[in-house]
Amino acid sequence: MRIALAGAGAFGIKHLDALARIDGVHVVSIVSRTLEQARDVAKKYGAEQATTDLRDALESPDVDAVILCTPTQLHAEQSIAALRAGKHVQVEIPLADNWNDAREVAMTAFETGRTCMVGHTRRFNPSHQWLHNRIVAGELSIQQMDVQTYFFRRSNINALGQPRSWVDNLLWHHAAHTVDLFAYQCGEPIAKANVLAGPTHPQLGIPMDMSIQLQSESGKLCTLSLSFNNDGPLGTFFRYICDNGTYTARYDDLFTGRDEQIDVSKAAVSMDGIELQDREFVDALREGREPNSSIASVLGCYEVLGNLQLQLNQ
């Protein structure tokens, strides 16, 4: 499996580290904003090609698939270009920053017959997998999810504390994780969704605080609070209130409602959600099947986000 990776920033490096642990995968091309960075990363991970132009990778017959870890605003356009070039695509979350673009990527994947998977990592974290397996087995049923997504980002910096060339977004990026996970764990569509946004940052031009309410078709609830103004602790914390227990997921780790850690090491072959996500992408291509978090399976999330954006625009 020969892969090109575009976007050698904080998340791109996480994917490269994960891909290095998967047998039979070779990263052949690195695309980055500067040639110096592309060459440095390509040398470290053994890629033959280093470039600043995604077209170089898309035109190469040595590339089977592309992983896009580029700025959000480029995701839809680059996904469509890769699919039309005959490449399979894994695009990091979010698929797009508007509903029309998300729908166009889905239509392009259908028309080209190529696989398009979206990086909804929460589906793959062992903590959420452990819960999902028990929900599917009928051992648990969600009554409510309470989720906090908190960061301190009053300037354009990435997860490594480095300057970003683009502006992050609470609704289309960070809320997408929870909107999709809630529907996935409930096993049913979201029937109602409401949103309130705090003041807009004068320089960044985005709301820095947001509150979202969701209700599934059968009445299960989700309350999501998001902020870029929170000065610690940072990250996303998921509380599952179920008919048979309460659980808190903190990325790959899981705890009971009484803060007792649960061993989720046997939920999957790795404790790294990004590695599990990349393994699913590679395995689905090798087996000729639709991957978990395929564009078809996550498209409902982006329709909900599009409706929430309409509420904010009123």
CA distances from 148 to 25, 71, 139, 177 (A): 36, 23, 25, 11
Scanning the structure block, which residue is given the tokens 């891909």? 19
Shared domain check, 176 and 237: yes
CA distances from 224 to 99, 150, 177, 213 (A): 20, 11, 11, 6
Shared domain check, 110 and 131: no
**What pLDDT, on a 0 to 100 scale, did the predictor assign at position 58?**
98
C-alpha triplet 165, 92, 133: angle, nearest 5°: 145
State which residues form the domain around 240: 123-269+300-313
Bond preceding residue 233 cis, omega within 30 of 0? yes
Where the chain has pLDDT below 50, the residues are none
Shared domain check, 263 and 133: yes
Bond preceding residue 71 cis, omega within 30 of 0? no
Shared domain check, 155 and 265: yes
Shared domain check, 194 and 100: no
How many distinct structural domains can be found in the chain?
A: 2
**What pLDDT, on a 0 to 100 scale, did the predictor assign at position 164?**
67
**What pLDDT, on a 0 to 100 scale, did the predictor assign at position 286?**
98
Shared domain check, 75 and 47: yes
Task: List Cβ<8 Å contacts ≥24 apart for 130-139.
Answer: 130/254, 130/262, 130/264, 130/267, 131/185, 131/240, 131/247, 131/249, 131/254, 132/184, 132/185, 133/267, 135/185, 135/187, 136/187, 139/244
Shared domain check, 238 and 285: no
Where residue 140 sits, what CATH number does that domain have? 3.30.360.10
**What pLDDT, on a 0 to 100 scale, did the predictor assign at position 119?**
97
Shared domain check, 144 and 193: yes
User: CB-side exposure of 193: number of CA atoms within 13 Å?
Assistant: 26
**What pLDDT, on a 0 to 100 scale, did the predictor assign at position 115?**
98
Scanning the structure block, which residue is given the tokens 């061993």? 263
Question: How many angstroms separate the CA atoms of 178 and 184, rounded?
Answer: 10
What SS3 state is found at 252? coil
Shared domain check, 143 and 104: no
What SS3 state is found at 85? coil
Q: How many CB atoms lie within 10 A of CB 162?
A: 10
Rg (CA), the chain: 19
Entry pTM: 0.94
Shared domain check, 232 and 167: yes
Question: How many angstroms separate the CA atoms of 293 and 123, rounded?
Answer: 8
